[in-house]
């Protein structure tokens, strides 16, 4: 095999490897959480609604809350929950309609730490500051994209 052909083959393998790595990293659950927080920070409701499942998209009241009450929101830390008992409680919870259809690998639970600044602390339910909440993500069966299905304490 001549030298040019080897270089071309190595280049093709390298380009394909980089392409597949890039495609894999854009569909990470952590990326969905980051995009969600950034969307709240920038008040980008269309982008925010792409981060959540269909049933959890914001309506008019949620949009008003974000636009009128939240000044900024910054992600501090995202930590994967590895305790299987927490996954089991979530999967078998009474309001979960997907428990028999969704493989366990298509569910991820994270502890998310963030800083939120409200426009007027006197009017909001919470004060501005750092908070940690649990984010429940599922990989939608039709799109194979990670979406936030629930946010809890």
Is 25 or 117 the better-scoring residue by pLDDT? Answer: 117
% residues pLDDT > 90 (the chain): 46
Separation CA 137–CA 24 (nearest Å): 17
Helices marked H in 1-153: 3-26, 29-42, 45-49, 60-69, 84-91
Calculate the average pLDDT of the chain. 84
pLDDT reading at 25 higher than 60: no
At 150, is the secondary structure helix, strand, or coil?
strand
Say whether pLDDT at 50 is over 90.
yes
114-134, pLDDT tens digit by residue? 999 998 766 667 889 999 999
Instruction: Tell whether the torsion through CA atoms of 137, 151, 44 and 37 is positive or negative.
Output: negative
């Amino acid at each position: 095999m001549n030298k040019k052909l080897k270089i071309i083959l190595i280049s093709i393998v390298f380009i394909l490897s980089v392409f597949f790595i890039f495609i894999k990293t854009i569909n990470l659950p952590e990326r969905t959480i980051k995009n969600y927080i950034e969307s709240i920070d920038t008040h980008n409701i269309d982008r925010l609604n792409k981060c959540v499942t269909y049933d959890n998209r914001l309506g008019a009241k949620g949009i008003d809350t974000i636009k009128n009450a939240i000044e900024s929101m910054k992600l501090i830390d995202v930590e994967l929950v590895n305790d299987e008992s927490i996954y089991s409680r979530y999967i078998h919870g009474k309001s979960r309609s997907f428990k028999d259809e969704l493989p366990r690998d298509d569910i991820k639970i994270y502890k998310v730490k963030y800083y939120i600044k409200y426009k007027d602390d006197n009017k909001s339910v919470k004060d501005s500051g750092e908070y940690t909440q649990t984010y429940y993500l599922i990989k939608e069966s039709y799109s194979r994209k990670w979406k936030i299905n629930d946010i809890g304490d």
